[in-house]
Every structure is written in C-alpha cells, then in structure tokens.
Structure 1
Amino acid sequence: MAAGVYENPAGNRELRAAIARHIGISRSVSGSPDDVIVTNGTQQALDIIARVLLEPGDVVAMEDPGYQPPKDLFRALGTRVIGVPVDSEGLVVEALPAEARAVYVTPSHQYPLGVAMSLSRRRALLAWAERNNAVVVEDDYDSEFRFGGRPLEPLQTLDTTGRVVYVGTFSKTLLPTLRLGFMVVPPSLQEAAQKAKFVTDWHTATITQSALAWFIDEGAFARHIRKVSRTYSERHEALTAAIKSNFGDYLDLIPSSTGLHIAAYARRASVDHIDAIASRAFDLGVAIQRLSAFQVDRKPPAGIILGYGAIETARIAEGLRRLRSCFDECVSRRPKAA
C-alpha cells in the first residue's frame, strides 16, 4: 500500500498476516489474514461487535466483577448488561441469563481477579452459546505473559460453530498509547464487521500499521516479548512472595500465573477500609485498585489489585512497605476510648 493512500478497512495486509502468524504461534489461535481486522484498541473492536450483532434492549452478559470500559460501552449503545459471578474456574456458566445475545469474557486471565477459566468451563460456555444462539467475545488482553503452567486452548480454538470473536491488543505488550488492537472474526461476520469499521473511522493509522508489521516480521516483537517476560516474571515472583509472607494477616492472594497484575481478597478489612487504604496509599505514592470498583451488578468482596507492569522491580519492596503501613493504619487501629 503506497503512503498517502486510503487503506482497506480491515487493515494493512502485511500486518494482518503478521498478527495471524503471531497469535497462531503464541496463543494457538487459528485464523488467516482474512479473519483479522485491525482496530484502534480493544474498545473499538467491542464497539464494532456491538454495532454488527446487537440492538438496543439486547442483553449482554459479562463477568462480575469485570472490566468496566466494555460495560460502559455496551450500556451506552442501549443494551442491557447483566453481571455473571466468577469463581476459581472463571465465569459461572450456569448463572448466564438465557436471553443473553452476547457474552464478554476474559478467560485466560480474568480481569480483575486473575483466575483462568478451566477447560470444562470453556467447553460448557461454548455449548451454552450454541444452545442459546449467542456470540462469545473472548478478550485475550495479556496472555503472552505466562509464568507457569500449561496454557489452555483459547475459546476461539475450541469453537467449532463460529460463535467466538477473539479480541487482542498491543496495549500490554507494547504501549497503550499506540491504540492498536485486532479481532479475529468468523467468516459469517467478516463482511459486516469490515463495513462497521469503515463507517466508524475507515481504517486505523497506516504508518503505525506498517511499522508494526515490520517489527513483527523481523522477529523484533518476539524478542521484545521474551525480554520483558523475564522482567515481568521477576516482578510477579517478588510481589506474590511478599504478599504471602508480609500480608498474610490482611490478604488472601488469588492464584494467578499470567499477565501484569495480581489480586487479593481482604481477610478482615471492609470495603470502606480498602477505600481508605487506597486513598492513603496514593498519598504515599503507591497506586492500587479496589475490587469494589469493578462491580457490575453485585458488590464484590473487599480486596485489592496490584499491577506491576510499570514499576521497577527494585522499587516493589519499598512500595509494599508503604502499603503495609496503610493497612496497619487503616485496619488495625482501634477506636479511642470514650
């Protein structure tokens, strides 16, 4: 494609081919370049899916607690979003509303809890979608970073009926500011999805697409992933070990071996305590997220989320020391005697 010429709405052909090869190797996702549509991040991919498949009043089911931007997007488009509980095996399929037209899930590394959806639960979800004539939107936002265990097959790979739309992003592997994502679309939806992309913004920035295609094809992207994975693995190990050893009286760590964040339930702190801890930690230069901020329909237990993508490994210990002081101050203090 010559510089200065409008691009195919689906994206640069070289980049779509590079993405198809990359996710085939790194994530076992099956798809050709024709199945790939380049988007401006995950949020646009979800917007396209909603424009193609949903109408105002339709029901969208999503994990509860869950990632908030999709909830806001679906509701802004007039759909009814229903939260579905998550346990140690991921989304509870038995709790899905029968009227749902779409299910949005993060099965490889549930956001925010961090659990992985079990294979039996994945199969049950696909069977449910077929019975109820629904589409499954699989958001695989950070599974390149796996620090242990055998990765489970994506829903997209297990799908035999063309009901899964697979969504990926370069926000975690490169930079959120690139606003580059992609979707792998079943053949039955390709034409409609490309038309929706066209009427939305015609195409994603061509120069960025060309640069990323070169970066992947030259092997630089794979080398980058290997390099940063070692760093993230060190941070993950340091953070999880410290939480287990130094916060055992305050936190129950939720097991996770993927991605750039961990989550923990509070043992005895209330949601109000966690709000106070988060505020005090922010004053001390420590950023944490509250599980309660990810509520869809039901209030989740008190807990925190700790991201380690942007903190230097050497600074984790000091950050946790400050966080520990916040817990001691906000949870352990006793009311003054009258």
Structure 2
Amino acid sequence: MASKSQDGTRAEGIALPVSVDKSLPTPLPDQLTQELRRLISEGTLRPGDAVPSSRRLAKHLGISRGSVETAYAQLVVEGFLITAERSATRINPDLPAASTPVRPKNRIPDSPRRRLRNYVDLRPGFGGDDPLREPAFRRAWRDSLDLDPGPIDPLGQPRARWAIADYLRLTRGMAVDPDEIILTSGSRDGLRLLLSVGVSGSIAVENPGFPGLRQAMSNHHLVPLDTADSSPAPADVGAAVVTPNHQFPHGTPMPVDQRARLLDWAARGDAILIEDDYDSEARFTRTVLPTLFDLASTTGSSAQVVHIGTFSTLLTSAVSTGYVIARGPISEQLMSMRTALGPAFSPILQMAIASYLGSGGLRRRISRGRRRLRAAEEVVAEVGPIPGLVHDGRTLVIETSQAQAASLLRDLADRGILVASLARGWTGDDEVRHGLVIAHSNVEAPVLREALGEVKTLLSRIQS
C-alpha cells in the first residue's frame, strides 16, 4: 500500500510533501531519506528548520516509527540533520541555503488514484515478518540510540564486527577474525564492492542458479557454470558466483564432496569463488555443511574464496545489512575501497544490529522461522496434490509450459500473490524450464493455505 502525503506534513510552519510507497522494493527508510534529501536540495527545508518528530511523521505516513528513526539517523550521519537533547531535530544550520524553488501548482488528478493492495509475497528472498514490529529488535534499536558508537570506521563499527564474528562462531562454526569482516548494506552491495576492485574476465554463474545477485552483474559477461562439472574453468573466467546453501530451484544444499570439487576447479583455473551465503538459516533444519570459505582453510586449498553474507533475508529488505569476509590481497583491496567509499550504512543501525545479535534476538527469530516452515509443510500436505508440483527442498516448484507460467504469474499478481518465475534461474536460452517457484515458509499457515488454494484453482483452470 502506498502512503502518500497529499496536503503536506506540518513542522514548524513548513509543509512537507513527503511520499513513500510500501509496494516498492526500496526499503521505507531509504525512500524517506531520499525524500528528505530532495526537500533540502530544493529549498523546501532550509538550514535551521525543524523536522517533524519521528512519532508524528510515522503516524502521518502510516509506517513504523523505527523506519523514520532509521532515516533520521542516516541523515544525521550524512550531516543533513542535527540533534540536541530536549530539542527538535533540525536541518543542519551550517548547510548552504538552496535557491528558492519554483513550485508548480498542484494538479488535481483526473480520477482517484487506485490504492495499491497488500501483497502476499511468496518469492524466495522476500516476505517474512517485519523486524520493525519485533519487540527485541525495537529494544535493540532504542538501546543503540543511547550508545556512543565511537569514531566512525568505514569498514564497520568494532562492536558490530565482533557481534557478527561471534554470531558466525555460535551458529555456523566459522572461525572469523572480526578484523576480516567488512560491513555492507546487503549481498548486492557486497558483490558490487568486490566487482569495483576489479574482477577480470567473465563471471561464471550457476545454471540454473538463484537469480538474486545477477542484477548487480548486469554490466559483466556471464557464462553458465555446472557446479557438478570438474573440468577446468575457461581461461577468460575470472570469478564464479555460487549459492551453496540454496541450489536453485529447490533450495537444497550443495553436497560437501561437490563443494570440494568446486574449490579444486577454482584453484586450477585461478578464479575467485564468490560464495553467496543466501538462505543460510536453512542450515538450522538439516546437517550443517561447511562454508566454502571454511572448507578452503581447513583443506589447505589454494582457491581464493570471498564469503558474502546478509541479514536482509532474515530481517527483510527493510533492514539492508550484510558483510563480506575475505583473506589475502583481495581482502586488502576490498578494505581500501570500502574505506574510500565510507560506511555502508549508519553506525547507529550497526549498533542496533550488534545489540540484536548479542541479545540472541536473531537466533530466536530463526527459531520462529523454523516453526513457520514446519507449519507450512503441514499446509502443503493438507492442500493435497498440486499439478506439476515438485517438493524436494526449501521451496515449492511447479513446472508448466511457458505460456501457462506467464498466465499464472499475471493472474496470481492480480489476486495479490507474488511468486517467482522458474525460468529466471537460467543463463542463456538452452534447456530453460518454465513454471513457478514458491517460498512457502514466507507467511503464516492461514495465509499460505489461502494462497495455495488460489494456485490450485488457477492451475486447474488453465490445464482443463
């Protein structure tokens, strides 16, 4: 649902035409940050002006107070806003004043704008419950406002890096030095950081493979990679992106012997292995397998592995946070680039993440996700046979013809149900399969039951 400010938000006599849209993939705090930057640059907000309180603006826009506080905190770090105890948050009075903008008259729309529906998001990598409504995360956020983050470290605040290292040790068995961790605003940001330091040649991607990171590689030549093939990498391949914990499309983990062969493949071809640790929470439901990063260290492999992790899958894209771990020369290059670019996200949010991890909040959230997955499995069994369904892992895969897949995706979206396209997992046009990919543990059981009922109805209709 879009939250629009039509008449403006009042703050110290200033009208703020602020607009955020919940249906967009951009996190709400990022949208609000962009809107406030725009108002400052246009001169709508001038140096010294007060902005609305976080509570007041959140109520007006119909969003959580935490989203507004996150946006304000980011603008404080950037120098656009200043805060003082017992005083309103204001535009930095030292900012240069913008020229008075020429404001066009408001145009009355020809017809009422359609209110966007709330969608049931069953796409892998999306959905899940909003952390901003979770008491433990809100408490961590409030606590972070009372903590002094200390000098800003562009690689990540020390407390956050220590908390992540401890989390990986306790939950993944990874022995990582906090100094090896570089904070990012998510897995795509981590990949862009790596590509910015220079990856020569083509990039190999699993075929089929999880399409999540491919958008960040649109300017690079991608070649298909068969992870079960042990033949040497082509001479022009400089890196390979793999998701060992979530093999597309079923979400199954890559076996350890195949991981070992992949390390050997990369070492012989002198290719960087970029390990996207997407869906790492799935490791809590089956035997824990070593990461490629750890496996390279324990086996003495000469393969160069860069480990990319994210909390965005667990905390939703509303909290875009992640990390990169590397060793050797590539680590030094990544740290130099991150230092030049500055912090990936607000130090205050970093402190909140550190508090949340330290309190065990994320581990409890993962436990809730496990319970939701068990409930989802029961719903799938209750719903009964679904034509074309293959259920071998963390996701439901329904294979159809190309025309049927296009029709299903469109009709389900019209009913407010978002699912993923199976065909998006293929690189190139060879042997592409069509259908739907459904992350059935994204929602609670009653919602899933209704959504799968719609899927069955539509499938029966198009196949009759």
Question: What's the TM-score once normalised by structure 2's chain length?
Answer: 0.63
CA contact (8 A) 1:286 1:323 kept: no
RMSD, aligned α-carbons: 2.4
Distance in 2 of aligned mates of 1:147 and 1:104: 23
Equivalent position amino acid for 2:462 in 1: C
Shift of 1:110: 2.0
Distance in 1 of aligned mates of 2:318 and 2:231: 38
Distance in 1 of aligned mates of 2:228 and 2:322: 24
Distance 1:250 1:167, change over 3 A: same
CA contact (8 A) 1:292 1:302 kept: yes
Distance in 2 of aligned mates of 1:288 and 1:139: 22
Match of 1:336 in 2: none
CA contact (8 A) 1:271 1:303 kept: yes
Unaligned runs of 5+ residues in structure 2 are 1-143
Equivalent position amino acid for 2:381 in 1: A
Deviations 1:154-198 (CA, angstroms, capped at 9, x unpaired): 111110336111111111221312110111111332221011113
Equivalent position amino acid for 1:302 in 2: H
Match of 1:12 in 2: 157
Distance 1:64 1:113, change over 3 A: farther
Distance 1:233 1:184, change over 3 A: farther
Equivalent position amino acid for 1:272 in 2: A
Stretch moving more, 11-20 or 140-149: 140-149
Q: Following superposition of structure 1 onto structure 2, how do residues 127-276 of structure 1 map, counting pairs within 5 Å? A: 127-146=264-283, 148-159=285-296, 160=300, 161=302, 163-235=304-376, 237-238=377-378, 240-241=380-381, 245-247=384-386, 249-253=387-391, 255-256=392-393, 258=394, 262-266=395-399, 269-276=400-407
- Pick one of 179, 185, 202 that aligns with 1:34: 179
- Pick one of 209, 212, 217 that aligns with 1:74: 217
Distance 1:162 1:208, change over 3 A: farther
- Pick one of 188, 198, 205 that aligns with 1:43: 188
Identity of aligned residues (%): 25
Shift of 1:72: 3.0
CA contact (8 A) 1:114 1:263 kept: no
Shift of 1:103: 0.7
Question: Counterpart of 2:418 in 1: which secondary structure?
Answer: coil
Shift of 1:95: 8.2
Distance 1:202 1:288, change over 3 A: closer
Distance 1:317 1:15, change over 3 A: same
Q: Following superposition of structure 1 onto structure 2, how do residues 109-120 of structure 1 map, counting pairs within 5 Å? A: 109-120=246-257
- Pick one of 244, 258, 280 that aligns with 2:411: 280
Question: What's the TM-score once normalised by structure 1's chain length?
Answer: 0.84
Unaligned runs of 5+ residues in structure 1 are 333-338
- Pick one of 206, 212, 215 that aligns with 1:63: 206
Question: Counterpart of 1:177 in 2: which secondary structure?
Answer: coil
Structure with the larger RCO, 1 or 2 (CA within 8 Å, 6+ apart): 1
Distance 1:126 1:289, change over 3 A: same
Equivalent position amino acid for 1:297 in 2: G
CA contact (8 A) 2:417 2:451 kept: yes
Q: How many pairs were matched up?
A: 314
Shift of 1:295: 2.7
Distance in 2 of aligned mates of 1:294 and 1:70: 11
Distance in 1 of aligned mates of 2:210 and 2:320: 18
Distance in 1 of aligned mates of 2:380 and 2:242: 25
Distance in 2 of aligned mates of 1:111 and 1:204: 30
Deviations 1:253-274 (CA, angstroms, capped at 9, x unpaired): 3x11x5xxx04252xx311111
Distance 1:46 1:327, change over 3 A: same
Bigger Rg, which one: 2
Distance in 2 of aligned mates of 1:212 and 1:325: 42
Distance in 2 of aligned mates of 1:329 and 1:14: 55
Distance 1:303 1:91, change over 3 A: farther
Stretch moving more, 155-164 or 62-71: 62-71
Question: Counterpart of 1:150 in 2: which secondary structure?
Answer: coil
